[in-house]
Structure 1
Amino acid sequence: MRGTLDRIEDGHLAVILLEEAKQEIILPIRHLPEGSRVNSWFEIELDGEEIISISLDEETAEAKESEAQELMQKLRSRRRGSRFKRE
């Protein structure tokens, strides 16, 4: 199962959004792989609600970043000034 690190709460709790299950899990940041940061993607193995393993998913992270950059580029290219006319 894949998930993304959405945020860090209280400086020590990681909130991970699980893509397929459409739910979130909260765990101490000390359980995250080294190099984890907000918006990092993970491959997560669960047994019920218990995390068996968690590892960084660099391939998904790069794909999502590229997708976001392409979308921003499309949005910026559409801008042609204000839709509102000044009188």
Structure 2
Amino acid sequence: MMKGYLDRIEENKFAVILVDEINKEFIVPKEQLPEGSTENSYFDLTIENDKISSIKLNSQKTYSEKHKVEDLMGKLRANSNGSKFKKK
């Protein structure tokens, strides 16, 4: 079982899934995604013969990664003193 990440949806038809473990990108029809999948979702994948044969939404990993990003963005905003550029 490998972990995948839904990077983006192209042309509202194709899902681009990144698999870091093997440094590969897979493109699958959007309809093959599990219900509830959105960009930035994480999946448990089975890959056979260089193709994804099984996609399961990993809700726990998706939730924890989303909150890591939100916490980091909050800290960055709190530390920001505004833009270095002045409006004219």
In structure 2, runs of 5+ residues without a counterpart are none
Which structure's CA Rg is the greater one?
1
The match for 2:79 is 78
Q: Equivalent residues in 2 for 1:1-80 (5 A)?
A: 1-80=2-81
**How far did residue 82 of structure 1 move?**
4.8
Percent of residue pairs bearing the same amino acid type: 42
Under a length normalisation based on structure 1, what TM-score does the superposition of the two structures give? 0.85
Specify the code of the residue in structure 2 equivalent to 1:23: K
Runs of 4+ in 1 over 2 A off after TM superposition: 80-85
Aligned length, in residue pairs: 85
CA distance in structure 2 between the aligned counterparts of 1:16 and 1:22, rounded to whole angstroms = 11
Specify the code of the residue in structure 2 equivalent to 1:55: K
C-alpha change, 1:81 and 1:13, in structure 2 (3 Å) is closer
1:20 match: secondary structure: helix
Under a length normalisation based on structure 2, what TM-score does the superposition of the two structures give? 0.84
